[in-house]
């Protein structure tokens, strides 16, 4: 077996086991929890490491080649290069990560461009309701526009004062703290505004369409 075959096999097994989890409702507790009182959503446990999860391919995109398109149902589509992206207003904030595989990581200090600041540049068309993020590894994920445009959502290029590591989606990734972390696309290359919802990679494989950890929306 050559390397391609073996990594394709590993990837297939990984995807199959996650699909099985979704069918079986693995990790679902059905408990309720209230963000104003608790910091850990139902069924989650806190970790202090930062696990790496992806499809086994970690694209190597240099800032010189990097581009980010924001297009679809917008008045003025844009394609930013690295310099134009870094020239946008920069936001720093600390948010919690909640992964559907039950780990949560508190107080991640991000630097990046607020999704609101990006959307302001393109001006939304009146029909835009959902966002589809496209990544360099072929991954896609869909989000309701209001979650994507939340005050604490970013396209992040820094973490704890350093450039975001490639394994975590550097040079730049989406971070949407209010949803499970599979909605936060690593190595993002395109943010597409659409009128009708269009399930992404995991959403097509049994994961919940919205993915709110406080409602324990792990699977559909």
Ligand X SMILES: Nc1nc2c(c(=O)[nH]1)N[C@H]1C(S)=C(S)[C@@H](COP(=O)(O)O)O[C@H]1N2
Residues of this chain that bind Mo ion (CB under 5 A): 53, 99, 182
Residue 185 in the binding site for ligand X (CB under 6 A) = yes
CB 209 within 8 A of CB 196: no
54 binds, among ligand X, Mo ion, none (CB under 5 to 8 A by kind): ligand X
Residue 168 in the binding site for ligand X (CB under 6 A) = yes
Alpha-carbon span 196 to 28, nearest angstrom: 28
Alpha-carbon span 203 to 185, nearest angstrom: 13
Q: By C-beta, is 14 or 53 nearer to Mo ion?
A: 53
Closest CA to 159 of 170, 145, 146, 148: 170
Nearest approach, Cβ of residue 102 and ligand X (Å): 11
Residue 187 in the binding site for ligand X (CB under 6 A) = yes
Choose one: 85-93, 111-119, 179-187, 191-199; the region binding ligand X (CB under 6 A): 179-187
CB 147 within 8 A of CB 214: no
Residue 102 in the binding site for ligand X (CB under 6 A) = no
State the DSSP string of 121-153: HH-B-TT--EEEEEETTS-EEEEEHHHHT-TT-
Q: By C-beta, is 56 or 89 nearer to ligand X?
A: 56
Residue 186 in the binding site for ligand X (CB under 6 A) = yes
208 binds, among Mo ion, ligand X, none (CB under 5 to 8 A by kind): none
Q: Is 83 exposed, middle or buried (0-12, 13-18, 19+ CB in 10 A)?
A: exposed
Nearest approach, Cβ of residue 207 and Mo ion (Å): 9
């Amino acid at each position: 077996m050559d390397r391609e075959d073996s990594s394709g096999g590993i990837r297939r097994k990984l995807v199959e086991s996650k699909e099985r989890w979704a069918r079986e409702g693995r990790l679902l507790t059905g408990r309720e929890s209230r963000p104003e009182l608790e910091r850990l959503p139902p069924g989650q446990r806190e970790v202090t490491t930062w696990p790496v999860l992806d499809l086994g391919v970690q694209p190597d995109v240099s800032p010189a080649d990097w581009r980010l398109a924001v297009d679809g149902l917008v008045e003025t589509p844009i394609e930013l290069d690295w310099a134009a992206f870094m020239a946008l207003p920069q936001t720093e904030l600390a948010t919690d990560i909640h992964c559907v595989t039950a780990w949560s990581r508190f107080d991640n200090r991000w630097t990046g461009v607020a999704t609101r600041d990006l959307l302001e540049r393109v001006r939304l068309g009146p029909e835009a309701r959902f966002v589809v993020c496209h990544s360099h590894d072929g991954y896609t994920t869909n989000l309701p526009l209001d979650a994507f445009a939340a005050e604490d959502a970013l396209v992040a290029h820094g973490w704890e004062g350093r450039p975001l590591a490639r394994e975590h989606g550097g040079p730049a990734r989406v971070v949407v703290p209010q949803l499970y972390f599979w909605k936060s696309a690593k190595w993002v290359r395109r943010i597409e505004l659409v009128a009708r919802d269009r399930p992404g990679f995991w959403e097509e494989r049994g994961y919940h369409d919205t993915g709110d950890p406080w409602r324990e929306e792990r699977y559909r």
